[in-house]
Amino acid sequence: MNENIDFMKRCRQIASAMRKQEIWRQKQIDIYYRKGRPLFKTDKKVL
């Protein structure tokens, strides 16, 4: 039973991480098309 609870908790964490990643991706697309440049360089430093 406890394993089932841990599995469900992990599934919720993964779903939450996927939502956050999608929000970040949409933000990057919006910035690229509005300003013509990405928010981050390839080395992850903020421009």
pLDDT in tens, 1-47: 678 888 889 999 999 999 999 999 998 888 888 877 666 666 655 55
CA 33 from centroid of its chain's CA atoms: 19
pLDDT at position 7 is 86
The pTM of the full predicted model, rounded to 2 decimals, is: 0.60
Longest Cα–Cα distance of the chain, Å, equals 52
pLDDT of the residue at 24: 92
Q: What pLDDT score was predicted for residue 3? A: 80
Do residues 14 and 21 lie in contact, with contact meaning Cβ atoms separated by under 8 Å?
no
* Assigned token pair, 21: 């990643």
* Gap between the Cα atoms of 29 and 34, Å rounded: 9
Residues with Cβ within 8 Å of residue 27, at least 6 apart in sequence:
39
